[in-house]
Chain A
Amino acid sequence: MLQLVYSPRWFYGKDIVIDIVSIVVLLCVAWFSLKYYRINKRNKNYLLLCFGFGLMALGFLFKIITNFTIYYYVLETRHLGFITLTYSVLRASNILFFVGFLMYRILMLIGLYILYSIYIKQSRISVAIMVYLITVLTYFSRNAYYVFHITSLMLLCAITWQYYVNFTKTRNLATKTLLFSFTIITLSQLLFVFVGLSQTLYVVAELIQLLGYLGLFLTLMRTLKDGKKKRKE
């Protein structure tokens, strides 16, 4: 049996709350990005940002699905001498668990790759190859969870570096908060690489990830507030 659950029993359900918070934050950023794309359709980066964060949100949704199990009844027949017994048995299916994890990893990596491609322009062929490689990598990394986290870590490092470059250009509070948020999310991925060693590490990584997404939400709020403030000037 594969071990894909690294959460301690007492933390079951609490990680779902963290994932829901992450989904809400990611959807908020995706929604504002789509809203601004409608105002300025010439800048396709808004649409890419919307897709990137949207796919990550969808990924987290699939991660939540992994917590549910399908129960179903099957009829079994047994012969005991002259007697034939037919009875129903309750069985559990892990299909949601495996499909959920696979989709979570694929969508998360494609989402991060789209964010990366906003800053480092990619040709259509590169995008198609990367999506193929991500799908293959995810499928064959079922037995090695850390491959997914290392790949996410690398993409997050590249994105965070771009946010650092952006911060050095603008030097304002919103870009600084964004930089910190992504640094924290990157740090959480680093911890996720080692969750196989200790269940406590999983809890710490989840909590750090929560901090990162809350930081992203603060960034969004600060950005909207700064936009409003300039109106009064």
Chain B
Amino acid sequence: MSKIFPKSANKLPLQIILFVFILAGVVTAATTYYATPKYTRVGYAPVQPVPYSHALHVGQLGMDCRYCHSNVEKSGVANLPTAQTCMNCHLHVRPDSPLLAPIRASYESGDPVPWKRVHQLPDYVYFNHSAHVDRGVSCFECHGRIDQMEVVQHAQPLSMSFCLNCHRNPAPQLRPLDQVTNLAWTPAQMPDHAKWAADFVKNNKVIPPTSCTGCHR
């Protein structure tokens, strides 16, 4: 009988097994890195119609988050400011700047400025800003150091595991209510944050839901 397979075919099964293992490792690593929100969402920074700088307004001028996002403590939605809010100052500050043309147009017509949405949770997720902000969860936890951003970018993955990490153990992320909008604050600035947080959880009934229906209503 003539040979059907060359001698090198003896090594083939081992090579195939090795290849499958390497391929599985590469696919797993690549999926974990490239196909999770840590990669697909973090860093998203669309160009906005007006080059509004949080670094200038919040970081340098010291404006509070709630000056513009005024309903965040009362509403589920952290509202975007209307052009009127901008014009409170910009009627007097750089009133003729060409960069502010869309704001002035909106102020006159009443049509909103077409901001590009950066943080968008899926429709099947219920999220309430006031429920978080009023229980000592800072803007920083989800949005990062907005006060240092020239252009707003997606700072955290906002994946389900990101939410659950905090919902399962909220205490380390909590801070006094008067520091919620102070993005530079860290727990290290408090002498005994762990004890304070434990008391805060108890007194303010911080009971984040971890059941499916907590968020998927």
Partners in one complex: no
Which chain B residues have a beta carbon within 8 Å of chain A's beta carbons?
Answer: none
Which chain A residues have a beta carbon within 8 Å of chain B's beta carbons?
Answer: none
